[in-house]
Structures are given as C-alpha cells and as structure tokens.
Homo-oligomer: A and B are copies of this chain.
Amino acid sequence: MAESVMTKMAYLFEEGNGTMKDLLGGKGAGLAEMTKLGFPVPPGFTITTEMCNEYRKLGKKFPAGLKEEIRKLMTALEEKMGKKFGDPDNALLVSVRSGAKFSMPGMMDTILNLGLNEETLQGLIKQTGNERFAYDANRRFIQMFSDVVLGLEKKKFEIMLEEKKRNLKIKEDQDVPAGTLKELIGEFKKFVLDSTGSPFPEDPYEQLYLAIEAVFKSWDNPRAVVYRNKENISHDLGTAVNVQVMVFGNMGDDCGTGVAFTRDASSGKKEIYGDFLMNAQGEDVVAGIRTPTPISRMKELHPEIYKQLEDIAKKLETHFKDLQDLEFTIERGKLYMLQTRSAKRTAIAAVKVAVDLVKEGLITKEDAVSRVTPDQIDQLLHPYFLQKDKEEFVQKGNLLAKGTPASPGAAAGIVVFEARDAIEQASQGNNVILVRPETSPDDAQGMLVSKGILTSTGGPTSHAALVARGWGIPCVVGCEAMTIDPDKRLFISGGKHYYQGETLSIDGTTGEVFLGALPTESPNDLSAECKELLSWADEIKRLGVYANADNPRDAQKARNFGAQGIGLCRTEHMFMESDRLPIVQDMIMAAPEAVRLKAQVDRLNKLWVKADEKEKVRIKKDLEKFGKALDAPWKDYRAALDKLLPIQREDFRGILKAMEGLWTIIRLLDPPLHEFLPSFEDTLVEVTTLRLTKTDPEQLTKKEALLERLKAMREFNPMLGLRVCRLGIVYPEIYEMQVQAIFEAACELKKEGVDVKLEVMIPGVGHVNEMKFTRDAAKYIAEKVMNDKGIKIDYKIGTMVELPRACVAAGELAKYAQFFSFGTNDLTQTTYGYSRDDAAKSFIPVYVDKGILEHDPFLILDREGVGSLMKLAVEQGRKTNPDIEIGICGEHGGEPSSVEFCHFLGLNYVSCSPYRVPIARLSAAQAKLKEDKKAGSYENR
C-alpha cells in the first residue's frame, strides 16, 4: 500500500466484511461479515493490523491520529447504544480482543467490562439493579486488566479471592456476596498501586488505550513468535484489535454464554454440538469453574434460545459454507454472536463434513478436496493412540523418550531385540516391538511380523524407516536417548535397564516412546466418505499415482488404496527371502572370479584373430590355462543363476497377475552385492576368535575364505560403489536372468489371458552408454523370449534418474529410455553429498537446529537444489523425446509438498508406498487446484 494513500485506521463492523482477514484479522472479519448479514452482533469496531505494525515500527507508540479515530468510533458506538463511555449514569462498557489473520497461542485474549471505574460502577448498579453482578463485573475487569495489561500475576488475585471464600466457607464464585466483592475491588486496586507504583487507571479511555497497546505488544511475545516460526507464519502480519460493546451473560438466569460447533467437530455428524452456561461470563466456561451443559440439552431447557441458535447456526454454515465454531452470549433471553470461524476438526470430521457439504449442495467437489489436508488422510490410515491416553501416560511419567517419527501409526507390544525372537514371539500370537540399534536386510522377516519398530540410530530414510513405511508398520528411529544392546537383550533409558519382554508403546506419528501398553485405535479401512472424496480427487488430479510394491500382497494393497500402477517393484527384496538367499550367496561368491576369467578368455579370443603364428602359440597356451581356471567358477555362477531363474519367474508372475491391466515397473537388481552376504565385522570377530581358540580348524578355513571374499568386495562408500546398473554391466548374466524371468512370466500370463503391461527399469544410469548397453542387453533377451514363446508383450524399457549426471545427460538418455523415474532418495544424496544412512543421525538435526536447513531434504524434496536438476532433466528429456513418461519413485513421491512440486514440474506420475497412495492422490488433486487458481507455474509461486 503506497504511503500517500490515506488508509482507514479502523472499521466499524458494518463497514467491513469476511474477506478482509488481512486487515481485520480472522475474528474482526467474521464479526463484520455477521454484522453485514444482519446477525445479532453487539456493535463494535476493529483497529487494523496495519496499526499494529505501525505501532511496532514507531517503537511502541500510537500512530498519529489513531487515538482520535478511536474516539470517533467510540462516539459512533455511544450513539448506537444511547450510552456514553465513562458516563456515570449510563456507561458504555466494551470488550477488547486481539484478532490476527491466523489464531495463535500466546496472543492476548480478552478483556471484558472495560470502562468500569468507581463512577460507572455505581451507574451500572443503578441501571441493572443488580449490585452483585456489577461488583462482580468490576472485580473480573480489574483481574483481567491487571494480568494482561499491567503484567501482574493472575495467581495473586486468585489467592485473594480464595482467601475470602475460605473465610466465608464458600465454594463457588457465584456465591460470593456483593459486599465481599466490593471489599475485594478495594484490595485489588491497592495491590495494583503497591505493585506498580501507580493507581489502577480510572479514566475509561486510558483503560482502552492501554488495553489496545497490550494487544499490539502481544504480537511479539515469545510464545507467539515461536508458534509463527514453527507454522511458517510471517512476523509482519500484525494483529487487529476488536473493541465491542459488552453484552452480559451473567445478569441473571435469562442470561448465559456458550460455545458451539455447527456440526460435531470430532465425528463430523450433522448436529449442533457444544456447551453453555446460564448466568455466566465466557471466562467461566473456559476456566472450568462451573460445569457447562451440553447444547443437546438446551433444546428442552431453553427451547426459544435453542431455536435462535439453531437458526443462526444454519444460516452461518450456509453462508460460510463450512463447519463453524461459534461463541455466543445470551442477554435477557436474546442471543448475541461474539465470534464465528471455521472450526478446527479431527481428520474423520474433516472428511465427513467436506463430503456432506458437497451432498448438501453447499460446496463443490473441488472445495471438498481442498479442505481436507494430506496429513488428515494420513491420520486416517494408521492406528493411533487417543490423545487423552497419551497425556495420562505422560503424567504418570511413562514417556521414556522421543525419537524421529519414521512411519506413522501407533503400536504397543513386548520388546524383542532380534529378528528371530520377533518371529518366535509373533508365532505365539504376541504383539511384538522390535528394538534394535539399527536394522539390516537380515532383519526383514522379523520386521514384517512386528507391530512396531524402534531404533536408536538412523534417520527417516534409514533401512528401518524405509521398510517400515513400505509395510505400513509404525516406526520410531534415531531414538538416541536409548542405548540398545541386543547382545545383552536390554536397553538403557534414563539410566535404567529394561529387558526383553518389557512392554512398550510407540507412536510413529510423533516419535514418542512409552513404557507400558497404550490402547490403539484402528481405522481398519478408509471410510466410505474418504473413498468418495478421493474419487473426486482422482477426477481433478493430473498426476498419476502409482505405488511401490515388491510382492503380490503389497500390489493388492496398492490397488485397494487406489494406485494406478506399480512405479517401483524392487527385485532385491525377492533375493532376500530366506529360501533364496543361499542361492544368491552362491552366485555372489562365484561371480567375480567367473566374470574376471571370462573377460580374460574373451580378450584372448579377440587377440587370436589378429595374432601372428608366434603369438598364437602363446595365446593358445593362455587360453587353455584360463579356460581351465574359468571352468569351476563359471559352472557355479551359472548353476546359481539357473536356480534363481524359475524362482524369479514365479515372483514376477505373482506381481504381474495382481496388477492385471495396470502398468508395472520392475527395477532390475540395485544394491551392492555384499548386502546379501554376512557382515564383514561379524566374520572378522568369528575368524579372530577361531584363530585364538584353535577349536575348529575346518571352520576357520571356511570362515577365512569368506572373510577374504568379503574383504575383496568391501567398499569405502558402498552407496557410490558397485551397484545399480553397474552390476548389470559388470555381471550382465544377472540382469539377463532377471529379464528372462520377467518376460517368461509375462508370456505365460498373457497365454492365460491376463492383460500384462510391463516396464523394465534400469537403476542408477549416469552415462548414455550405460543406458544403451543395458537397454540393448535387456531388449535382446526380451525379444528372444517373446520370439521363442510366440507371444508379444506390451513393454517399455526406461531408467531411474537418480544421479546428477543423469539429469545433466537426460537429453542423451532419452534417446534410449522410454521412461524416466526420479529416484529422489539417491538424487538428494548425491546432489547434497549427504549419505542418507549417516546424515540423519549425525549432522542434519544440527543443521535444522541451527537453521542451516529448513527441513531434512530426505523428507521434503529440496526444490532449489535437487528440484533444479529434476527440472533440467525433464526439459532435456522431453526435448529429445516429447512422449517420454516421467515419474518419481523416491520416498518423496508420497510427501504432499513434494507431490505438489512434481505436479508443477509436469511429471506424469508419482509412486509411493501403498499406505501413502491416498495422501498422494489428494495432494495431486490439490496441486492441480492450486494451479487452476493461480494459473501460473511453480516458479512464480
């Protein structure tokens, strides 16, 4: 707003409207809107947020002219009410309330009955004929004013009141007689004088200005600042101040006060819900001094009032098109509205209300989709603890620790420290919480049967977190306050030892860990309303939503949750299963030697062609030597591959069948091979022990050989080592076996009439030659199998884009890749140079704490860094091949802000764990709505 424009400093309620939240705050805009619509709102005015900012800018001074403006508006109120502010005979009293654009804790709340002093008090007594009411009003005013304006401790005043009550043997405030209240007013004022050195202000305008200043100042109080930081609310918004004529709920039994929701904010049920108290002021409800009555009883107790309320509630909801949170006061049988705003609500209510409002014709499907947050959908998908149960546990001292929430949901069970114990306990029907320093692929079976997983190390993308999220198992990681010793089957927390068999409850949504069993609430399935809402989201969204699923069970789950395909089927999880791991290990032990010698033989054969006689003699000798050496490892290598082929074929049959009619993207082997072998460390300890004890020379020899192989395969930085497509280039036979299994499975199914749609994904490509090599090899096998079987499968070959170099070379890659899938876990890792296994436990928390990073980039996609590279890849890839299909299958694919980014980037789909599919569907729709609204690109946001 240009400085030259003379802006309005304050608005009478009738001058504003509901859209003016920036200027009038939420409360002020609501009051203005209600006034405009003719609802019974006590007259008042709102001082704008700009005045607050101006006041702060001037170093806590009233902006020039503001006091005059306030007096002018007070005069308007006086005229309206036929009363005068400070008039001893007929005094106007007002309330002063803060009201920022967003409501936030820590802001000054309310001062009631402002304008009372010794003179006007007498007038009020005369006017109402109710001495006790008047003294009580004055007593309350002094108490509130002293607390929020003068900064005197509320408690001190309460103690004085309590003393009086004790002396009089009175329990309830409302039973304190007028005389005592009168005494109390004197004592309060004396206390103010003693504490502040000044008398309690008697001039009503002085009271008013001080109260307004207190609201202005409360914008900068620490709790409000912390809250705004946390919620990403700008510190420049400022708060408005509402000055409103008092109506009294405590003038007698035809008076009262209350709060109400136009529908049940907990279940979403369509009925007025709330509490009221007759002959009371609002603070009595809040303070909990008296027990309020449910609104459901108002109908019989006060039918006329209920009728007014019902009528107003309906009109308000119709007008605001949303569930409203109301404050009202009844003065002498007449209902006055003091506030209306959109109500906070539970996830269940959010969904039900949104869907119901559509059915009632109040809002559109698009509105409904906008109003439910992805977090709410998330809550609906996981078991949870009730807040009250948790609070009870906290009070009992049962909150043991807080770690990083890694997979949402709540679980309680008995503690085990080893995967095998988990399996054993679970088989006996026990609910199990697997507690480990960290997990590894070896633990997979044990994790699968656990109700919850808890680790002391690792971050939200650690192995434990990834697996847990994939399977929808609640998980807390990086719980550093706990020292976990699986060998001794114990963990230490707060200096105490806890052993296997102990009961724990973990909340994967918040990271809390409780001692003892909390009852869990289970959502079972998506509600019908939720399904309906998501079907509307599907109509709106442009992004496809796929799921990451590695087996038929997960694939089915994904379909149930509305996935349109599988964006990532990881074949390594198949390798991990216990029946095949030994075969995989045989393959790995034989492969390096087999491949090394084969390359040698190939090289010699090539040399042979152009060698002269003399050289040929030498080459022949070498060929014999190497050929002989090659024989055994090659046979072992092939034998293992031949055993894996039919197993893999069955794996792929299962998943392709479950996904009939939908595209399934199968990724070829990805992790470094040593992940399938026993740990180097354990083997080192075993060998050292065997060497010293000399008990089992045979075993020693065997273990030494294993140790040698493990040593040879060891990498300083396995994430950057021999993995992804590098495996398929160094050991082409492994990828060939996988592709053969995939296409044999597909052909069999097709023959059986199943509609198979297949995409083969090459991981970790960085150079176009990697793409070409692996694509050509896969294509060759695919065509061969299809030719042999005489069957044609609809298939594509593409790549993951998960290295910065892939982004840079995307234009080249798109010559050979029919689709791209961003692997943003790895891409984040290499773009930042952060190991996702290490960073979360070491420096990322420090970074977030010191404000270096806003979020953990493994949780929320880094738009500036990683996002720029993705943008480049999309542009370059589409330039080469405008039809290329581009998606994302990293963990970010189910995170709302990241899904939005993917939408604006123009991706074709996101893929995430089945449990996040509904969230992604909603987020994708919301991104589209945002786009429609702004009609701008994501760069201009």
Q: Which residues of A come within 8 Å of B, CB atoms?
A: 153, 155, 221-223, 226, 599, 609-610, 613, 681, 684-685, 688-689, 692-693, 715-722, 724, 726, 729-730, 764, 766-767, 769-770, 773, 802-805, 808-809, 826, 829-835, 837-839, 842-843, 846-847, 849-853, 862, 864-866, 868-869
A690–chain B nearest beta-carbon distance, Å: 10
**Structural contact, A837 and B716, CB atoms closer than 8 A:** yes
The answer to whether A722 touches B843 (Cβ under 8 A) is yes
User: Given A609-B222, A684-B684, A850-B773, does the pair A838, B715 have CB atoms closer than 8 Å?
Assistant: yes
Between-chain CB contacts (< 8 Å), 23 pairs: A155-B613, A599-B846, A599-B849, A681-B684, A685-B685, A715-B835, A716-B717, A716-B835, A717-B719, A717-B835, A718-B835, A719-B720, A726-B843, A729-B847, A730-B842, A730-B843, A766-B832, A767-B852, A803-B832, A803-B833, A804-B831, A808-B869, A809-B864
Q: Assess whether A720 is in contact with B803, with CB atoms less than 8 Å apart.
A: no
Question: Which of B693, B729, B766, B773 contacts A833 (CB under 8 A)?
Answer: B766
Note all chain B residues with C-beta closer than 8 A to A869.
804, 808
CB distance from A145 to the nearest CB of B (A): 19
Nearest-Cβ distance from residue A674 to partner chain B, whole angstroms: 11
Of B715, B805, B834, which one neighbours A720 at CB under 8 angstroms?
B834
* CB-defined contacts of A693 to chain B, threshold 8 Å: 692
| Residues in B whose Cβ lies below 8 Å from that of A681 | 681, 684
CA gap between A809 and B863 in the complex, in Å: 11
| CB pair A803 B831 closer than 8 Å | yes
**Residue of B155, B685, B808 touching A864 (CB-CB under 8 A):** B808
Instruction: From B722, B724, B838, give the contact of A717 (CB < 8 A).
Output: B838
Query: Is the pair A805, B826 in contact by a Cβ cutoff of 8 Å?
Result: no
Contacts of A613 in B (CB 8 A): 153, 155
> Which residue from chain B places its CB closest to the CB of A726 in the assembled complex?
B843
Question: Complex: how many Å from CA A928 to CA B529?
Answer: 71
**CB pair A610 B223 closer than 8 Å:** yes
Interchain CA distance A293-B270 in the complex, whole Å: 115
Determine the chain B residues whose CB is within 8 A of the CB of A685 once the complex forms: 684-685, 688
- Given A803-B833, A804-B865, A809-B865, output 4 extra A-B contacts at Cβ < 8 Å: A155-B613, A599-B846, A721-B835, A805-B866
Closest B residue to A833 using CB positions: B803
Q: Which residue of B lies closest to A724 (CB)?
A: B833
| Pairs A-B, 6 closest by C-beta atoms | A222-B610, A720-B835, A717-B835, A804-B804, A805-B865, A716-B837
For the complex, give the distance between the alpha carbons of A808 and B870 in Å: 11
Residue of B nearest to A732 (CB): B850
Q: Separation in Å of the A221 CB from the closest CB of chain B?
A: 8
B805 and A833 contact, CB distance less than 8 A: yes
Asked if B833 and A826 sit within 8 Å, CB to CB, the answer is yes
Across the interface, name the chain B residue whose C-beta is closest to A725: B852
Determine the chain B residues whose CB is within 8 A of the CB of A730 once the complex forms. Answer: 842-843, 846
- Known A720-B834, A721-B835; contact A865-B767, beta-carbon cutoff 8 A: yes
Residues of chain B lying within 8 A (CB to CB) of residue A847: 726, 729
Query: What is the distance, in angstroms, from A926's C-beta to the closest C-beta of chain B?
Result: 27
Contact A767 B853 (CB under 8 A): yes
Known: A684-B681, A833-B830. A852 touches B773 (CB 8 A): yes
Give Cα distance in the complex from A718 to B717, angstroms.
Answer: 7
B729 contacts A846, C-beta separation under 8 Å? yes
Set of chain B residues within 8 Å of A717, measured between Cβ atoms:
716-720, 835, 837-838
CB distance from A692 to the nearest CB of B (A): 5
Query: How near does chain B come to A839, taking the closest CB pair, in angstroms?
Result: 7
Given known contacts A729-B852, A846-B730, A764 and B222 CB-to-CB distance under 8 angstroms: no
- What residues of chain B lie closer than 8 Å to A829, measured between beta carbons? 720
Residues of B within 8 A of A804 (CB): 804, 830-831, 833, 865, 869
Task: State A770–B693 Cα separation when bound (angstroms).
Answer: 52
Report the separation of the CA atoms of residues A834 and B809 in the bound assembly, to the nearest whole angstrom: 16
Name the B residues within 8 Å of A802 (CB-CB).
Answer: 833
Nearest CB to that of A603 among chain B residues?
A: B849
CB distance from A834 to the nearest CB of B (A): 6
Q: Which residues of B contact A830 (CB under 8 A)?
A: 720, 804, 830-831, 833
Nearest B residue to A719, CB-CB: B717
- Whether the pair B852, A769 counts as a contact (CB closer than 8 A) is yes
Best-buried of A838, A851, A869 by chain B (most CB within 10 Å):
A838
Distance between Cα atoms of A684 and B831 in the complex (Å): 34
C-alpha spacing A153/B609, complex, angstroms: 16
**A897 shortest CB reach to chain B, Å:** 18
CB < 8 Å neighbour of A838 from B692, B721, B832, B849:
B721
Nearest-CB residue, chain B, relative to A681: B684
Nearest opposing residue in chain B for A437, CB measure: B711
Distance of A730 Cα from B688 Cα, bound (Å): 36
A917 to B764, CA, bound (A): 37
A715-B842 contact, Cβ under 8 Å, with A688-B688, A865-B805, A865-B809: yes
Contacts of A853 in B (CB 8 A): 767, 769
The reply to whether B716 and A839 contact each other, CB–CB distance below 8 Å, is: no
For the complex, what is the distance from the CA of A693 to the CA of B691, rounded to whole Å? Answer: 12
B865 touches A766 (CB 8 A): yes
For A849, the chain B residues whose CB sits under 8 A away are 599
CB distance from A450 to the nearest CB of B (A): 23
Residue contact A729 to B843, C-beta cutoff 8 Å: yes
> Which residues in B have their C-beta under 8 angstroms from that of A766?
831-833, 865
Residues of B within 8 A of A833 (CB): 719-720, 724, 764, 766, 802-805, 826, 830
Residue of B nearest to A846 (CB): B730
- What's the nearest-Cβ distance from chain B to residue A152, in Å? 13
Distance in angstroms from A615 CB to nearest chain B CB is 12
Q: Please determine whether B839 and A721 come into contact, CB atoms closer than 8 angstroms.
A: yes
Distance A870 CA – B360 CA, assembled complex (angstroms): 59
- Is A838 in contact with B773, judged by CB distance below 8 angstroms? no
